[in-house]
Amino acid sequence: MATLPSDALPASAASRPLSARDVRTLGLAALGGALEFYDFIIFVFFTAVMGRLFFPPETADWLRQLQTFGLFAAGYLARPLGGIVMAHFGDRTGRKRMFTLSVFMMSVPTLLMGLLPTFATAGYAAPLALLALRLLQGAAVGGEVPGAWVFVSEHVPARRVGLACGTLTAGLTLGILLGSLVATAVNTVFAPEEVLAFAWRLPFVVGGVFGFFAVFLRRWLQETPVFEEMRQRHALVRELPLKAALKGHAPAVAVSMLLTWVLTAGIVVVILMTPTLMQQLHGIPAARALGANSVATLTLTLGCICFGMLADRLGTARALTVGTVALLVTVQLFYRGVASAPELLVPLYALVGFCVGVVGVVPAVMVHAFPPAVRFSGISFSYNVAYALFGGLTPLIVTLAMKQSPLAPASYVTAVCCVGLVVAAYLFRKASAGPDSGTREGDADERPLTAR
């Protein structure tokens, strides 16, 4: 297998400042990612409604919620297959093609979800059809997220990878914000009976239209300079990219999977599950809970960019340490504070949302961990398998654990933050260990984490 060094391009190109073309690429990629992630996420904001419409009416409330979160989890279980296949062709034929295909694959099932018959009309065929469409969504997003990180990081100078990954991740979280705003609008404009009757369909139909618009946007993007350089030098991987990534980069895979666990804890628990949990635990109205979630998601978007810039300035290990400690403290403050003073919901949610922005550091570590020839496949396998495992099981674990303690969501995030601190310590150690350690402490991510 022929490979290139991690920056792949001449030093002058790697150290150049951001150009107007870079900014345009980041903007278009982030906007397209926001529209696609809206399609994948909108389901979670209507879990209560979907549970009532797509399962037998005599089902117990706790079981209905568990079944609905199970459908949500099914999307994560489909991510590895879609991600691995797209990554294979992304490392072989180009990043841009897969970057465009993934958003098209997301648009179609989202639109069809808005047109599905419910259990009252189709019986058990309704949840089965919903499951099938959710699996298609999962396969699409499996290629989208790692592909987007690779795409933007290979367009910008090496010293701006943190900003690029943070900005792209901010775009993905902006998709969550769009979902939250649309869900808030639906629950505000329509009465609960109208939402159950027809209004729940509107966000999915709008999402399908959003997705096709994202396909159009990505036609304006160009292939990454790193991939073009590899193609010109005939340095593309000759064996299966996934096989090469797993064979030579086991430490990078392990680090990427553990950091994906941190990412899932922040996004799935704090951002996606919390609006529903606030309604159940403290009787907060749906519109108010979703409104607070919109504020938290906005601060999360800002946090991703800020932590990405911090990674460029201080190194990802330091940025990861600061962010996980902040998230650990604020998630406890949030769940305990709202329990005693529900009127503090919005400011506390905004604070913890910003700290979830540490997820913007995660892709920067992954990008530096793998060389360009197997980067897409290495990141896609690590991220999607870990997300299928942790992202899929997290809602179920938290839901069951809440029977023992209402603080179970905060306890879960706290425990996973400790995992993030262990990974940060490993990055510090890698920076200072070994004869080839030419980077300063905290910049262990600047060289591949490969078995030597």
Residue 235's pLDDT band, with cuts at 50, 70 and 90, is low
CB atoms within 10 A of CB 425: 13
Q: Which residue has the higher pLDDT, 452 or 257?
A: 257
Measured CA to CA, the distance from residue 190 to residue 302 in angstroms comes to: 30
Residue 9 in contact with residue 227, Cβ under 8 Å? no
Place of tokens 């001449």: 10
Residue 161 in contact with residue 364, Cβ under 8 Å? yes
Q: What is the pTM of this model?
A: 0.80
DSSP string, 221-270: ----HHHHHHHHTT-S--S-HHHHHHHH-HHHHHHHHHHHHHHHIIIIII
Measured CA to CA, the distance from residue 444 to residue 146 in angstroms comes to: 21
Three-point CA angle 306, 312, 315, nearest 5°: 110
Residues 376-413: pLDDT tens digits?
A: 889 989 998 898 888 778 888 898 888 888 899 999 99
Residue 65 in contact with residue 83, Cβ under 8 Å? no
Measured CA to CA, the distance from residue 263 to residue 259 in angstroms comes to: 6
Residue 149 in contact with residue 363, Cβ under 8 Å? yes
Residues 110-137: pLDDT tens digits?
A: 999 999 998 888 888 988 898 899 888 8
CB-based contacts of 207, cutoff 8 Å, min separation 6: 38, 39, 42, 107, 110, 111, 114
Residue 297 in contact with residue 180, Cβ under 8 Å? yes
Residue 415's pLDDT band, with cuts at 50, 70 and 90, is very high
Q: What's the sign of the alpha-carbon dihedral 269, 273, 274, 279?
A: negative
Q: Which residue has the higher pLDDT, 107 or 433?
A: 107
Domains of the chain: 20-446 (1.20.1250.20)
For 60, list phi and psi in degrees, rounded to 5.
Answer: -60, 150
Residue 202's pLDDT band, with cuts at 50, 70 and 90, is very high
* The 3-state secondary structure of 69-86, one letter per residue: HHHHHHHHHCHHHHHHHH
Look at residue 417 and tell me whether its pLDDT is greater than 80: yes
Measured CA to CA, the distance from residue 311 to residue 358 in angstroms comes to: 10
Please tell me the predicted confidence (pLDDT) of residue 374.
Answer: 86
Burial class (CB within 10 angstroms; exposed 0-12, middle 13-18, buried 19+) of 417: buried
Please tell me the predicted confidence (pLDDT) of residue 15.
Answer: 60
